[in-house]
Amino acid sequence: MSQWSEQRRHDHYYKEAKKQGYRARSSFKLIQIHNRYGVFRPNDVVIDLGASPGGWSQIAADYARLIVAVDIESMQPIDKVVFVKGDITEPETINKIRNYAPRANVVLSDASPDISGHYTMDQAKSVWLCENALKIARETLIEGGVFLCKIFEESLAMLNLIIRHDHWLYQIPT
């Protein structure tokens, strides 16, 4: 068993997620963010980028009427969730998303790059994924919609420089 797998097995949120039937420990973070900022409203249409294994989609499904979950990895079905297998950086995937949700109230991104162990490269990949998620948000979000994107904390300074002019960034502390 890898060191990461061993650490995860002993993690409080990992254990609690399994106990409560959540697919990922990140479900708790989304619950906290929603409780504080009111991300979801009844009858929302949500696009969940980097969705597998489905932890954020599970939470969104408690509030929204439709979730379009997108990932390069497969995901087990969830009620009210349409799954699109594809790469969020590819136009074909974006077209598939638009087929199900031409407009959305919420765009979530929990997308994470494959970690190489090279700090600078991993940071750049994290920013690149967030930029692609922001592109999808710009194309699909209704006025007043919510864009919530996970990015490596160290990358936040770079991201601020990239999207500062749009006034979209509201930093939520971890």
Q: Which residue matches tokens 């006025």?
A: 143
Domain boundaries, the chain: 41-166
Top pLDDT among 4 and 15 is at 15
94-106: average pLDDT: 96
**pLDDT at 158 exceeding the cut of 70:** no
**pLDDT at 6 exceeding the cut of 60:** no
Q: Report how far apart the first and last C-alpha atoms of the chain are (Å, whole number).
A: 28
pTM value is 0.81
Report the percentage of the chain scoring pLDDT > 90: 45
How far is it, in rounded angstroms, from Cα 136 to Cα 107?
Answer: 8
Task: Calculate helix-pair angle for 12-20, 3-10, nearest 10 degrees.
Answer: 70
Which segment of 27-31, 67-71, 144-148, 160-164 scores lowest on mean pLDDT? 160-164
* Token duo for residue 132: 């692609």
Q: How confident is the model at residue 82 (pLDDT cuts 50, 70, 90)?
A: very high
- CATH among 3.40.50.150, 3.60.70.12, 3.40.50.620, 2.60.40.420 for 41-166: 3.40.50.150
Residues known to be catalytic: 150
Q: Which residues, in sequence order, are CB contacts of 103 under 8 Å at separation 6+?
A: 45, 140, 141, 142
Which pLDDT score is estimated for 121? Answer: 82
110-135 confidence digits (pLDDT tens)? 888 777 888 778 777 888 888 899 99
